[in-house]
Amino acid sequence: MKMEDTQFKNPLLQAFLAELEHLELYKQYCNSPNEWLKKLIDERFVQFYIRIRAIAYFSKIIYFTARHFDKERRKYEKRYVLTLDSSSCDDYGSKNEGANTLKEMIVDESASIHFQERLSHELDQYIQHPILYRAIQSLNERQQQILYLAYVINISDTEISKKLNVTQQAISKSKNNALAKVRRLINA
């Protein structure tokens, strides 16, 4: 099993013989060839080859999983743009050329239009699901206003009652009735 220089050009053999133990076994075999050393070198090479294949396999798995993760993350970010990263719109909802993002408007002290002014004060502007949209549209204006303040602005029932000059119990009752009506219409 005398190897010639041309066989050492194989990168796998070079890597195998780069390990000192394997090189010593090969030198022993070259000096005194016997069947036991040949089998030992073959076994070590098989173990080495399996290890290299496993490393290559896991490297590919990690690479393609990372690419897939990055692709999915980019798709998600493109599909679900953060509210502050979306571009600002004029009063009619059309996008302006060269318009700033809402985040830039918040940071920019010289911005003439503030973020709160850009928010719609209508609850139905925040709903995308058609069945839920129709259910919200069926509520009276007061119920829509209470749900808007409670769930969009995130104000407590007590604060809503102070703002609308009614009791907290009236707000709770109106909110619960509105939610029950919405549930009923969605499940119908």
C-alpha–C-alpha distance, residues 22 and 28, integer Å: 10
Q: DSSP class of residue 93?
A: S
CA distances from 143 to 114, 115, 167, 177 (A): 27, 25, 15, 8
Q: Where is pLDDT greater, at 112 or 76?
A: 76
Question: According to the model, what pLDDT value does residue 103 have?
Answer: 64
Average pLDDT in the 30-59 region? Answer: 91
Question: Smallest Cα–Cα separation from 43: which of 20, 11, 16, 9?
Answer: 16
For the 120-187 domain, the top CATH level (class) is mainly alpha
Write b or e for each residue in 75-92: b if 16 or more Cβ atoms lie within 10 A of its Cβ, otherwise e. eeeeeeeeeeeeebeeee
Question: According to the model, what pLDDT value does residue 168 have?
Answer: 92
Say which residues have a Cβ less than 8 Å from residue 115's Cβ, sequence separation at least 6: 102, 105, 106
Question: According to the model, what pLDDT value does residue 43 have?
Answer: 93
Written as one letter, the residue type at 46 is V
Instruction: State pTM to two decimals.
Output: 0.39
17 pLDDT more than 80 = yes
Q: CB count, 10 Å around CB of 23?
A: 12
C-alpha–C-alpha distance, residues 88 and 103, integer Å: 9
Question: According to the model, what pLDDT value does residue 171 have?
Answer: 92
Give percent of the chain above pLDDT 70. Answer: 73
13 pLDDT more than 50 = yes
| Structure-token pair, residue 56 | 């290559």
64 pLDDT more than 90 = yes
117 pLDDT more than 60 = no
Written as one letter, the residue type at 64 is F
On average, the pLDDT of the chain sits at: 79
Whether the CB-CB separation of 121 and 153 falls below 8 Å is answered with no
C-alpha–C-alpha distance, residues 2 and 26, integer Å: 9
| Structure-token pair, residue 3 | 């190897």
